[in-house]
Structure 1
Amino acid sequence: MTNAHNAPARTPAVERVFPGLAIVMVLVIVAGFSLQLAMGRSSFDAPLLLHAHAVVFMGWLAIFLTQNLLIATGQVRWHRPLGWLATVWLAPMLILGWLVTEAMVRRGEVPFFFRPLQFLVFDPLSLITFVGLTIAAVVLRRSTDWHRRLHYSAMAILLGPGVGRLLPMPLLAPWAWEATAVVTLLFPVIGMIVDLRKARRIHPAWYWGLGVQVAMIVVIEAVTWSPVGTRLYEMVVAGSPGAAVAPLDFPPPPGPPPPAA
């Protein structure tokens, strides 16, 4: 999230929208995880790996929000070095995200409204897509209009876990993940609407951000239902309790087992 130097001038009305969008995005994620904790569906007794994952991802939220507030208040001096820290931060996010997903699948602890194989595929691929869009935003940091919009498009992908904790996921099965993905698409669409209303045109960066996100969803679905996905699942769960879980069957919901007939 480094600042631009040669960006075209933007109208103040358009510029003021971005910090507001950043705040809404962060609030969605915080609300989702707070609700999870308040309803007793998560605990501080979770494994150390989950704590590390949570700290790193919440750290990204803090960086993302701070970067937007720095620009909104004209603090470019601090925005640039924090942007390079954000770039380095991507590596532990990607690594820990994959490790947590793998650990849950191997333990057979995938949420019951997700297909285990789909969970194994969509979590890492979503992170890879997020990282790719974020790196594109960094590469285009001298063009503020592209830089900002690509960052917001990338951040929209990270909203999935927060949005999923706010939606009635058990009621949305067997399309729980797809429903969550569609909701996250609304955020770049909102950006498009803002551009159209304030600048009288939709910036092409939104088309790229939205297009990449849609392509990600298509690839996740294709891999989930392909022999490649099945083989990947078999490799990951080999020798673990997860090997006894059918890759495309929904796990049973939590609670006591049904009485014997």
Structure 2
Amino acid sequence: MSSDRSAFIDRWIYVFTAVSFIVIVSLGFIPDSLSKIAAVEAGQRPPFPLVLHLHAVLMGAYLLLLLAQTWLVATGRVSWHRQLGIAGAALAAALVVVGFVLVPTIYHQVFAVAQAAPPPVKAQLAGLVMFLENIMLVQGRVGIMFAILVFLGVSARATDPGFHKRMMILSIAVALPAAFDRMTWLPTTMPASPVASDLYMLLAIAPMFAWDLFRNRRIHNAYWVWLAVAAPFTIAVHTLWDTPFWHATAKRLMGV
């Protein structure tokens, strides 16, 4: 491959990855959100809590910011990239806080409806409550990993730009399973296991990883760090998933 073509891909592979993340999130969340809005309007489910709207706005803003940041670097506007990075750090912090508020809010909303429902519906909603308890494992992994990876990425922005740009993209990749879970047309292992969602997440970062491996003939340190952070949390998620111990623990954590 010519050096000019390699340099072009070096610049634009990150823009491509950011665009692909936006496409994935859109494919997962837009149809799902429209169906839920219709259910709310039909009186079939309670209205969305305010914190859910806030989380959606913050996530959308962060994805657009990621795209803007990769485009600024690809087009040589590095000074603008650095200035916009301040907003990115603030958005990331807000996402973590709002995410951890959202989890108990949704759980308590569904739990309250389940408790007040007539017996036939109550049995169905009890299954949904247990599913939400399992999903808490994934949500907790996302929140903690996102915070750690963003911190590592931001800390390396001046000393290791290559690590920085990869880690900022890898940090948001951990949230993609939520979008894949909403693509009901994809083969899935849910609700029995989150294995498929994790594999789809790896598939989403595969083009960037494959180009790195081809270009550098080695695995970049950012991927090793990402794996080291992800491994213990992922093992915990798959070990605890749908176990009586976890369901009891989740209820205690939620105070019910």
TM-score by length of 2: 0.78
Q: Does 2:213 match 1:196?
A: yes
Could you tell me how far apart the structure 1 residues matched to 2:185 and 2:192 are?
11
* Contiguous gaps of at least 5 residues in structure 2: 1-5, 41-46, 112-124
Indicate yes or no: 2:235 matched with 1:235. Answer: no
The answer to whether the Cα contact below 8 Å between 2:188 and 2:196 also exists between their aligned partners in 1 is no
1:32–1:163 Cα contact (<8 Å) kept: yes
**Counterpart in the other structure of 2:3:** none
Per-residue deviation, 1:175: 3.2
Larger deviation, residues 165-174 vs 15-24 = 165-174
Contact 2:130 2:247 in 1 (8 A): no
Counterpart of 1:80, as a letter, is R
Relative contact order higher in (CA < 8 Å, ≥ 6 apart): 1
Q: 1:196 to 1:165 in 2, by over 3 A?
A: same
The offset of 1:67, in angstroms, is 0.7
Match status 1:85 vs 2:102: no
Deviation, structure 1 residue 229: 6.4
Give the secondary-structure state (helix, strand or coil) at the position aligned to 1:166.
Answer: coil
- Which has a greater percent of helix? 2
Q: How far is the alpha carbon of 1:126 from its aligned partner? A: 1.1
Tell which deviates more after alignment, 216-225 or 136-145: 216-225
- 1:131-188 residue CA offsets vs partner (Å, 9 max, x unmatched): 1111101111121211111112112112122222224489633335332122112234
Cα deviation, residue 25, structure 1: 0.9
Secondary structure of 2:219's aligned partner: coil
User: Is 1:41 matched with 2:27?
Assistant: no
DSSP 3-state at the match of 1:23: helix
Q: Residue type matched to 2:67 in 1?
A: L
1:159 paired residue number: 176
Q: Is 1:185 matched with 2:185?
A: no
Residue in structure 2 matching 1:126, options 142, 163, 176: 142
- 1:16–1:96 Cα change, 3 Å: same
1:27 is matched with: 23
- Point out the more displaced range, 158-167 or 130-139: 158-167
- The range that moved more, 209-218 or 67-76, is 209-218
> Which deviations, in whole Å up to 9, do the C-alpha atoms of 1:49-98 show, x marking residues without a partner?
21111111111112111111111111112111211211122222112111
* Letter paired with 1:86: G
Give the match for residue 157 of structure 2: 141
Letter matched to residue 48 of structure 2: A
Distance 1:232 1:46 in 2: 22
Unaligned runs of 5+ in 1: 1-9, 239-261
Q: Which moved more, 1:196-205 or 1:229-238?
A: 229-238
**Matched residue, 1:75:** 77
CA distance in 2, matches of 1:199, 1:190: 14
Contact 1:29 1:159 in 2 (8 A): yes
Cα distance change on mapping 1:170 and 1:49 into 2, 3 Å: farther
Quick one: which amino acid aligns to residue 26 of structure 1? Answer: I
Distance 1:74 1:185, change over 3 A: same
Residue-pair matches, total: 228
CA distance 1:177–1:42, shift in 2 (3 Å): farther
Q: Which moved more, 1:107-116 or 1:62-71?
A: 107-116
